[in-house]
Amino acid sequence: MRRDRINDFAADLVSRASLTPDDAGCQDAIATRLASLGFDIEPLRFGEVDNLWARRSHASPLLVFAGHTDVVPVGAKDTWRIPPFEGRIVDGMLHGRGAADMKGSLAAMIVAVESFLSRHPSHAGSIGFLITSDEEGPAVDGTAKVVDHLQDRNIDIDYCIVGEPTSLHRAGDTIKVGRRGSLTGAIRLLGKQGHIAYPHLALNPVPAAARLITMLDELVWDEGNEDFPPTSFQISNVHAGTGAGNVIPGQVEILCNFRFSPESQPEDLKRAVEARCHALGLKYGIEWTLFGMPFDTPPGPLRDATVHAIAEITGLETVCSTSGGTSDGRFIAPTGAQVIELGPVNETIHRVDECVSVDDLVILSKIHERILEIILA
CATH of domain 181-292: 3.30.70.360
- pLDDT given at position 37: 98
Catalytic residue among 22, 23, 70, 296: 70
- pLDDT given at position 27: 99
Q: Is the pLDDT score of 307 beyond 90?
A: yes
How far, in Å, CA of 16 to CA of 84, rounded?
A: 10
Q: Is the pLDDT score of 324 beyond 90?
A: no
Mean pLDDT, the chain, rounded, equals 97
Domain extent listing, the chain: 2-179+294-376, 181-292
What is the value of pTM for the model shown? 0.91
Question: Across residues 314-342, what is the average pLDDT?
Answer: 96
How far, in Å, CA of 74 to CA of 79, rounded?
A: 9
Confidence of residue 59 (pLDDT cuts 50, 70, 90): very high
Is residue 63 within 8 Å of 161, Cβ to Cβ? yes
Confidence of residue 128 (pLDDT cuts 50, 70, 90): very high
Whether 304 sits among the annotated catalytic residues: the reply is no
Is residue 253 within 8 Å of 238, Cβ to Cβ? yes
Confidence of residue 207 (pLDDT cuts 50, 70, 90): very high
- 2-179+294-376 classified as CATH 3.40.50.150: no
Question: Comparing C-alpha atoms, which of 181, 184, 180, 182 is closest to residue 256?
Answer: 184
Q: Supply angle C-alpha 302, 305, 310, rounded to 5.
A: 125
Bond from prior residue into 43 cis (ω within 30 degrees of 0): no
Other residues' Cβ atoms within 10 Å of the Cβ of residue 205: 26
Q: Which residue has the higher pLDDT, 226 or 143?
A: 143
Catalytic residue among 23, 114, 135, 164: 135
Torsion of CA 147, 60, 333, 152, to 10 degrees: 30
Which tens digits make up the pLDDT trace of 247-295? 999 999 999 999 999 999 999 999 999 999 999 998 999 999 999 999 9
**364 burial class (0-12, 13-18, 19+ CB within 10 angstroms)?**
buried
Which tens digits make up the pLDDT trace of 69-124? 999 999 999 999 999 999 999 999 999 999 999 999 999 999 999 999 999 999 99
Is residue 20 within 8 Å of 136, Cβ to Cβ? yes
Whether 12 sits among the annotated catalytic residues: the reply is no
- pLDDT given at position 295: 95
Question: Comparing C-alpha atoms, which of 269, 110, 251 is closest to residue 189?
Answer: 251
Percent of the chain with pLDDT over 70: 100
